Structure 1
């Protein structure tokens, strides 16, 4: 426990240099070693069973609240869901290093290290849940009802993560896609609490702000290097763009007012991503490359500034950026598989067909032999051209997508799911006590 805490709790101060001096693969191995060692020592009765009355009724939200990545956004969404129905809760910022950039200040004035309530909702994925247990300490788990909010992108759950189920009383997920996968591995409750969105944009973050041309029809591809580039699959989107608009000089001339924006976040987490992208991009392809940190309002505004968002992902646990694009009225071209299909269809987005493909090697944490989707590039290219050339079709997708996102991804729906679950947890155990 001592070494683990030292290694993990030093993360905040060391985060800016960790990824420069320690390769990501080595960091992963170090964490894996901690997890495996702790797992061997964890027995079924290691954590004291939930004891109603030991703590006040309410929720402790624990997660990477300041994180600029999807995990951080997920934790902040939970805070807002609890606010929506005035559920009593506190917020504790916690991350597993290196953690990515951490500049979000939304809940800075509410952060605390105190955990006074009887339900923990812990936004740490299963892969690092044991590390969280070691870092935070057993006392955080003892006598509380522990809920892990987990996302995962495949239909097979890694065997080495199964011990994480020992650390929870139940699991919440952002989509039925994830829920259905996890239910195959546990008898504990697994509840879908869909992500919700209400992206804020600012007109000052216009194309000029991002040094993007104002006279071109722009597609956007965006991914975080920490999310595994092979899964996000930007190369397929680049290939589709080139097939549709850049396959020869005559085509380039015809579509000279069409461009592609490639935005990479957290590029320091994978030094190879930029090199791979640059190797397939020609200087005269009207492709605009962006790398570096943007605040959340800038990201939302960038999505609104472009004409189309493209995600030919191989798998998504939910797909927050696609949902946000729909919300701000930007049409989406997306792979028709995994979590995103729960909030988009052929009426609200351009859904691209796919073939299921077996991974030919490990793409940590995705293992060789598992399956994920391989989007049809030619179909994506056709959608790109249709959105550019057919204004009526463009407007239909934009309006339908926006209307659906605002109605079905509103906070109240998921807030009620959370409130109902809290009532049931307290109700069941109150009856046991009395």
Structure 2
């Protein structure tokens, strides 16, 4: 019932490109391409494989996403005998197309009056920045692990005399007034775990910003580093966009962002694979037995403190990432898409009037 009705067209289109979760892929063209962010963990649902197999070609944003789609397999069984009669696995081509950043905006120092007003009101000169949605799931179970990030930040600097700040550019499902109060409530619940402590400040930047405003935020002198201890990313474009500043990045050593982050130019946090909790995803996305990445919290604390104390050292190596990021511009993405289209899409006969 999630399928869109078939469009009413005078003739069947030669090429149909569908950008959606794979179980909703439809084949309305003579040649059909499915584009999806895929999954952020180690297995996808069988309905996703069935959807991917409906298409002539599938495109995903990272080698990580491709790897786990290709590795996922399910047994096909006879309903009467319960005997295995085959396997469900990907049997259609799949290519990787990274999500390029807009080089006309990102990588160029800029300012924005609204951003400056907000950040200039912050008294701290050293701010860690997190950018991303605060998704469903209890503490430690939301996909980007925002709740755990706040808790670890408090633990790292709560008893320190000199403290940095943490800026959360986040919201839940929709940037509404209700959502803002819910996010503030979740921050307050974590803060209550540290009664009587002089905790470092956590600031909330809530709602939608333009690309120009995001770039101004990234380049603001008080924003010193990006932190994201995510359980898994299909790609992680905010990390790519921020990397064009040449400032330090502290991030999980797993999933899609490893395609574009240079290992010797960022700080990759070690961790382990853990089972994906059921409350982390809607039922139509969650797959039993799937795993994702959980950072070692002691390593996170150590790196946060070291980055704050030894910032020049972290900032020096980050400059290499700024150069490397130029391989992932929107222009280069467009060029790669053209190569993929040329490789797979057939030539269609021209109609004679």
Match of 2:217 in 1: 302
- For residue 361 of structure 1, the aligned residue among 275, 278, 298 is 278
Q: How far 1:154 moved relative to its partner?
A: 1.5
**What is the distance in 2 between the residues matched to 1:427 and 1:162?**
24
Q: How far 1:320 moved relative to its partner?
A: 0.5
Q: Does 1:146 align with 2:32?
A: yes
**What is the distance in 1 between the residues matched to 2:136 and 2:34?**
20
Segment drifting more, 382-391 vs 276-285: 276-285
- For residue 124 of structure 1, the aligned residue among 1, 6, 20 is 20
**What is the distance in 1 between the residues matched to 2:130 and 2:142?**
13
- Against the structure 1 CA distance between its residues 302 and 366, is the aligned structure 2 distance closer, same or farther, given a 3 Å change threshold? farther
- For residue 374 of structure 1, the aligned residue among 287, 294, 297 is 294
**What is the distance in 2 between the residues matched to 1:395 and 1:429?**
52
* Partners of 2:61 and 2:235 within 8 A in 1: yes
- For residue 317 of structure 2, the aligned residue among 397, 400, 405 is 397
Q: How far 1:308 moved relative to its partner?
A: 0.8
- Against the structure 1 CA distance between its residues 226 and 241, is the aligned structure 2 distance closer, same or farther, given a 3 Å change threshold? closer
- For residue 417 of structure 1, the aligned residue among 325, 333, 336 is 336
Q: Residue deviations 1:114-146, cap 9 Å, x none? A: xxx63233222225x25xx5xxxxxxx434311
- For residue 231 of structure 1, the aligned residue among 125, 131, 143 is 143
Match of 1:218 in 2: 127
Written as runs of structure 1 = structure 2, the 5 A alignment for 1:317-328 is: 317-328=234-245
Q: How far 1:319 moved relative to its partner?
A: 0.8
Match of 2:93 in 1: 189
Segment drifting more, 179-188 vs 276-285: 276-285
**What is the distance in 1 between the residues matched to 2:217 and 2:93?**
39
Match of 1:278 in 2: 188
State the secondary structure of the residue aligned to 1:301: helix
Match of 1:161 in 2: 48
Q: How far 1:357 moved relative to its partner?
A: 0.7
- Against the structure 1 CA distance between its residues 379 and 212, is the aligned structure 2 distance closer, same or farther, given a 3 Å change threshold? farther
State the secondary structure of the residue aligned to 1:310: strand
Q: How far 1:310 moved relative to its partner?
A: 0.6
- For residue 175 of structure 1, the aligned residue among 59, 62, 69 is 62
Q: Residue deviations 1:288-328, cap 9 Å, x none? A: 12222222221222222211111000000111111111112
Q: How far 1:181 moved relative to its partner?
A: 2.1
State the secondary structure of the residue aligned to 2:293: strand
**What is the distance in 2 between the residues matched to 1:279 and 1:416?**
47
Written as runs of structure 1 = structure 2, the 5 A alignment for 1:330-349 is: 330-349=247-266
**What is the distance in 1 between the residues matched to 2:237 and 2:28?**
33
Q: How far 1:168 moved relative to its partner?
A: 1.8
* Partners of 1:178 and 1:339 within 8 A in 2: yes
Q: Residue deviations 1:356-406, cap 9 Å, x none? A: 111242422334532111111221222222222224312223311211112
State the secondary structure of the residue aligned to 2:169: strand
* Partners of 2:64 and 2:256 within 8 A in 1: yes
Instruction: Give the structure-1-normalised TM-score.
Output: 0.63
State the secondary structure of the residue aligned to 1:275: helix
State the secondary structure of the residue aligned to 1:318: coil
**What is the distance in 2 between the residues matched to 1:225 and 1:389?**
28
Q: Residue deviations 1:261-282, cap 9 Å, x none? A: 1222334596855432221136
* Partners of 1:244 and 1:385 within 8 A in 2: yes
**What is the distance in 2 between the residues matched to 1:346 and 1:422?**
31
What CA RMSD, in Å, does the superposition of the two structures yield over aligned residues?
A: 3.0
* Partners of 2:136 and 2:279 within 8 A in 1: no
Written as runs of structure 1 = structure 2, the 5 A alignment for 1:52-63 is: none
**What is the distance in 1 between the residues matched to 2:52 and 2:287?**
20
* Partners of 2:124 and 2:165 within 8 A in 1: no
State the secondary structure of the residue aligned to 1:344: coil
State the secondary structure of the residue aligned to 1:242: helix
Match of 2:195 in 1: none
* Partners of 1:212 and 1:288 within 8 A in 2: no
Match of 2:168 in 1: 262
